[in-house]
Amino acid sequence: MPKEMIFFSDVEFGSGTITDDFVSDKLFISVINDLAKKKDPVDLIFNGDTFDFLKVPVYVKGKEKYPTHITDEIALEKLDSIYKAHKDSFLALKAFLNDEKNEVYFVIGNHDYELLFDRVQEKLKSYLGEKRVHILPVYTKDKVYAEHGHQYHVYNKYVYERVFRSYKGKKELNIPMLFSGMLEFVINFKIKHPFIERIIERQQVFSLVKFRAKLSLYWLFFRFYVLNVFNSFFQHLIRGYGWVFFETGYSFLQDLIRKDFDICDFNIYLNALKRLDPKYKVVIFGHRHDYSGIETNDKIFIVLNSWRDEYGISEKHHIIPKTKNYARVVENNGQYKVEIVNFDLNDFRINLKESIEDELSALKKANEIMSKKDLKDYTQSVVKI
Ligand SMILES: [Mn+2]
């Protein structure tokens, strides 16, 4: 029987706060329900950042906090909030798994390191009916290889051999060296600019924001790249990760010299591909949220778009939703057929300038529209690779 593999990436289920960028539950559920109807066995692979733990707050005395010391208790609280906010999507996955020929894989990304905790894995499995749920750093099957992609950049990379550390007698995630800065940087930016952060034409947006907003952005960048970097270096030195220190330091200096702060540069992926076992013929990454499908080095190489909401800017200065997609790989007698299934929304228009002036209204409006759209509202197209 041919085996189907379906790959999604960067769904980023949040907890329904203003930092939650996944609002397309309706579309997601319809797509999962369709996949559940297939006659052949299906491996459904979520290729990292399925859960946006990074932007999910925990509550301390009623206040939203984003702690950098992440214990399994904190991780469980976050997972619970995510489940409550996206229960119907979880139930769709559970229904998909009711069929014994189906399996679900969660590849670990840089927004969901929390999946490394045993108790978090158990809890997630319990939400989905216990059976045929797999949580892994990398998915491989015969000639197919999938990983999230964050491991190729030190800001996000975690050390497989030491994913936990001890702090004040408690086991916590050994977050990547610069990740505490990352946490603070991303979160502060996201809370201040919950809507424009979703717009991918960053420079165009930056040129339109007010002077005060520009200053506050520079301040954030400064804090991330200078203060947090030094703090992180120091923290890791006293914890004895000397080699991580040098690797990160070297990479950071390279970034500074090249003035290139693209944390998931495409060329890094192409280099990684060269080092990959030549037996793999279909390779799938995510993390960049920017689709590409090419044939290179005797491999089909795919980078998927995100399922969290993101927007581009049209020629008429309207905000338009980015394509959501998944990859479908079918193996039949050693041959692989690869297709990309795209979902496009055409009747969504939000004015760019207005939304920069009033982000909260724009966010509310966009969320309202997107959360109501069902599969029938999207143009579906299939691209063979
Ligand atoms: Mn990522």
Contact (CB, 8 A) for 366 and 381: no
* Tens-binned pLDDT, residue by residue, of the chain (385 aa): 778 999 999 999 999 999 999 999 999 999 999 999 999 999 999 999 999 999 999 999 999 999 989 999 999 999 999 999 999 999 999 999 999 999 999 999 999 999 999 999 999 999 999 899 999 999 999 999 999 999 988 778 888 778 898 888 999 998 887 777 777 778 888 998 999 999 998 888 888 888 888 888 888 888 877 777 777 777 767 766 666 667 777 777 777 787 766 667 888 899 999 999 999 999 999 999 999 999 988 899 999 999 999 999 988 889 999 999 999 999 988 889 999 999 999 888 889 999 999 999 999 999 999 999 999 999 999 999 8
Domain contains 303:
yes
For residue 275, the enclosing domain spans 3-159+266-384
In a domain, 46, yes or no: yes
Sign for the CA dihedral angle at 209, 66, 287, 378 comes to negative
Q: Tell me if 21 is assigned to some domain.
A: yes
Q: What is the CATH number of the domain that holds 30?
A: 3.60.21.10
Is 248 inside any structural domain? no
Report the separation in Å between the CA atom of 253 and the middle of ligand 1, taken as the mean of its atom positions: 22
In degrees rounded to 5, what are phi and psi of residue 209? -75, 155
Helices (H), the chain: 25-36, 72-85, 87-97, 118-127, 179-192, 202-208, 211-222, 229-238, 242-258, 266-275, 352-357, 359-372
- For residue 362, report the distance from its CA to the centre of ligand 1, in Å: 25
Number of domains in the chain: 1
* Domain assignment present for 345: yes
β-pair partners for 313: 319
Domain assignment present for 77: yes
Strand pairing class (335-344; 379-384) = antiparallel
- Dist. CA 152 → ligand 1 center (Å): 11
Residue 179 lies in a domain: no
pTM: 0.94
Ligand 1 centroid from CA 12, angstroms: 9
How close is the Cα of 292 to the center of ligand 1, in Å?
A: 16
